[in-house]
Structure 1
Amino acid sequence: MAKVSISLDAELVVEVMVLAGIGNPQDAVETVVRDYIARGHRTEARTASRDESVRTGRLVPPEPEQG
């Protein structure tokens, strides 16, 4: 996979490291970005299943809330 180098505000990176509990800045930011992408995919999947039921007219039971 190709690598990209970017510059970020040091306070932002430190905040990410603290919140993620990861001591390496590269790993901490990569973890946060991967989590953000995974959440987006989960949201798309939920939205698609709801839209599918409206489109087909079939009722789909709601997914349990995660809390």
Structure 2
Amino acid sequence: MAKVNISLDAELVVEAMVLSGIGSPQDAIEVVVRDYIARGHRTEARTELRDQGLREADAKPQEPQG
């Protein structure tokens, strides 16, 4: 996997280290980013299921009203 070097504010990195409980700055940021991505994937999966259910409900023929 390719590596990228970035500069971050030291306070931000220390906060990530404290919240994650990881002593290595690089590992702490990696864990935070991986968690953020995983949450996004879970959210997409949930909303996709909900949207699919709504599409199926809309696709059913409606009974005549009146």
Length-normalised TM-score, structure 1? 0.84
CA apart distance, 1:16: 0.4
Report sequence identity in percent.
76
Paired with 2:45 and 2:20, the residues of 1 have a C-alpha distance of 25
The residue aligned with 2:44 is 44
Paired with 1:48 and 1:31, the residues of 2 have a C-alpha distance of 26
**Deviant stretches of 4+, over 3 Å:** none
Paired with 1:10 and 1:29, the residues of 2 have a C-alpha distance of 12
Paired with 1:26 and 1:11, the residues of 2 have a C-alpha distance of 14
Which has more helix, going by share of residues? 2
Paired residues in the alignment total: 58
Q: Which runs of 5+ in 2 are unaligned?
A: 59-66
Which has the greater radius of gyration?
Answer: 2
Structure-to-structure mapping, 1:1-67, within 5 angstroms: 1-57=1-57
RMSD: 1.1
